Amino acid sequence: MKKSLVIVESPTKARTIQKFLGSDFIIKSSFGHVRDLPRRELGVDVEKNFLPKYVIPPKAKKVIAELKKDMAKVENTILATDEDREGESIAWHLQEALKLKDPQRIVFHEITESAINHALKSPRKIDMNLVDAQQARRVLDRIVGYKLSPFLWKKVAKGLSAGRVQSVAVKLIVEKEREIEKFIAVEYWGVEALLKKPASPSQGGSDKEFPASLIKKGDKAIEKLEIKNKVEADKILQDLNNADYIVESIEKKETKRNPAPPFTTSTLQQAASQRFGWPAKMTMSIAQRLYEEGNITYHRTDSLNLSETSLESAKNFITKEYGKNYWAGKAVKYITKSKGAQEAHEAIRPAYADRTPESLKGIDARQLKLYTLIWQRFIACQMTQAIFDSVSADISANDYTFRANGLTMKFDGFLKVYPTKFEDKDLPDLEKNDKLDFVKLDSIQHFTEPPARYNEASLIKTLEKNGVGRPSTYAPTISTIQDRNYVSKNEQKRFFPSEMGFIVNDVLVENFSEIVDIGFTAKMEEELDGVAEGKDKWEKVCKDFYGPFAKILAEKYKDVVKTDLTQETDKICPKCGSKIIERMGRFGRFYACSRFPECKHTESIEDKKNDLGIKCPKCKEGDIVARKSKRGKIFYGCNSFPKCDFALWDKPVNEFCPKCDSILVQKNKSTIKCSNKECDYAK
């Protein structure tokens, strides 16, 4: 039997597949895309039906040459790239670059021996509908980026960019910030009684104190904002002086909590953000390794579908490890609610149900954390509900009613595997007409809270809910808007817009409202789905977008006046004696000589704000300032850079090591250490 060449995207995936296939197969990696649009030009002929100009990047030329040598040694070539639109597109570009006449195309949702062998038995042709959908997305994004960005350079500032999905994400963050700016906090008060059941020979008693919140006066419910100030709260406290607290009614019932469905790309990114504080980009990178090493199924999916084999293996594992009463009793299947979800795909799950996190060997700590989360969620989704005993007691005091709630777990069910935050609130055994002991009465001041800023989890959830982008676009979109300095994260890891983010958003909203309109962007996604399903032509989608867009763009070039972002200062240029002005650049405001470009003197405004008041220990002339790396990480360096390259990741303090005279740094809240890695001094 002659050999076959199998081409995948990554070396890790190639190594994993090689374990399952014998010497009759050569497995090689394309290292991602082998063709793309050129970097420094539009690369799309809008006059010739949006014909893309594809080129082979320099780094891919060597890969193509080596793959051609491998092709000469085999009888046939098999393209085994990922099963989504991106993977289909990579397969097509390989076909074109390698001049393959009729290559076999195989797809699999998991990298297991059975999945690979099944795929090899059922090859298909490249799905040009999926390729065209990806091609349309690439062309549309290129048109928006390469046509709209120069407009921003001319009318706002050099180096700016606009993107079809990224601009919508920035708009969401800007709108949220303006909601917060307009927000006015409203004061309100709550009243809470601390009570306990008295001990008695007949009924028993409890030393356990429990809270009860005021809910009614007479027959009228007291709404959240109804007690407006301390005067009103104190009046209620006065009315309750020497009141008797008597149980008016008891409601006991059993409540159940259902397990969450298995993960999709979006929900996995959200869960990793909430639990571990990971950015979406990191989550996807770790998931990529888990997938390529055969531990989980494909990680770019918006489907909740689960294969019959996986459902059966989950049932067997649950009944064997935990008992029949922990299995749901039947296979639980979930319905995908997101528009355009590809049901042929599966949800993200472990490749093997019985491969517990404890049994995994040779993976790093972060991979283990993410695998544990995925494994727990999948096993839990096939388990029984958690059951709780719920108690609600209404307690009368004079003309007021208080309510106390209790909740205790009766059966853990799926929570045995996938623990979530839960707090037992155990009330004493209360009966109607019980008289309770009064412990204390408090009035509690509250203020209404402004809307919360987006974090990665809530931003992804909003984008998905509104049909903006696809599973594969969330992580790169969020990275891009941070890299462009349109938004940043605060200490709570929540997004806020930069000054430039506000400016660019306002220019786009005022002049290109459709581009940043959520409904319009979601409609574009639906049209791309139509192309993927063979219902529409990709060229028509591009034409329908480009015609109106090009017309508006031409009008705006004429009508829009350049935004003046300069501000006068009283500073004088040390080089030529001219006035210094504040300018706005891509990375924020800076000082510059008013005679630019004749005089190119600039100074950093941020350096002034972030000056730690510590002289540089290396050059003895500059000051140490807080700065941001290209990846957005804070570091501390000399403001004389590049003349002086002193830099530290840890925050320096204005003290020097008694052992080696190096500057000391703050390692954490309680420890100061020497910055010299060879010195062990700490205090």
CATH number of 187-258+386-447: 2.70.20.10
pLDDT score of 200: 65
The arithmetic mean of pLDDT across residues 598-625, rounded, is: 79
Beta pairing class for 579-585 and 567-572: antiparallel
**Which pTM does this prediction carry?**
0.82
- Closest by Cα among 308, 314, 289, 313 to 299: 289
Catalytic residue among 188, 245, 291, 298: 298
- To the query of whether residue 400 is one of the catalytic residues in this protein, the response is no
Task: Tell me the mean pLDDT in the region 176-192.
Answer: 94
Q: What is the mean pLDDT of residues 493-502?
A: 92
Strand order in the sheet with 567-572: 567-572, 579-585, 588-593, 602-604
Alpha helices (runs of H) in 113-197, residue ranges in sequence order: 113-121, 128-155, 166-182
Given a cut of 50, whether residue 122 has pLDDT beyond it is yes
486 pLDDT tier (thresholds 50, 70, 90) = very high
Give the mean pLDDT of 398-412.
94
**Fold match, 4-126 / 136-182+454-559:** no
Classify 536 as helix, strand or coil: coil
pLDDT in tens, 624-683: 888 777 666 778 888 877 778 899 988 898 889 988 889 999 887 778 899 988 888 888
For domain 265-380, the question of CATH label 1.10.290.10 is answered with yes
pLDDT digits (tens, 9 = 90+) for 47-59: 999 999 999 999 9
Q: Where are the domains of the chain?
A: 4-126, 136-182+454-559, 187-258+386-447, 265-380, 567-646
The yes-or-no verdict on residue 343 having pLDDT over 50 is: no
Instruction: Please tell me the distance from the alpha carbon of residue 264 to that of residue 269, in angstroms, as a whole number.
Output: 9
Q: Which CATH architecture has domain 4-126?
A: 3-Layer(aba) Sandwich (3.40)
Average pLDDT over residues 327-338: 86
| Proportion of the chain above pLDDT 90, given as a percent | 67
| Most trustworthy range by pLDDT among 155-169, 397-411, 569-583 | 397-411
Domain topology for 136-182+454-559 = Topoisomerase I; domain 2 (1.10.460)
Closest CA to 532 of 392, 315, 339, 318: 339
User: What would the mean pLDDT of 401-412 be, rounded to a whole number?
Assistant: 94
User: What digits encode the pLDDT tens for the residues 300-322?
Assistant: 998 899 999 999 999 999 999 99
Average confidence score pLDDT of the chain: 90
**Which residues have a Cβ under 8 Å from the Cβ of 654 and sit 6 or more positions away?**
612, 613, 614
Q: Check residue 607 and give its pLDDT.
A: 54
- pLDDT value of position 630: 62
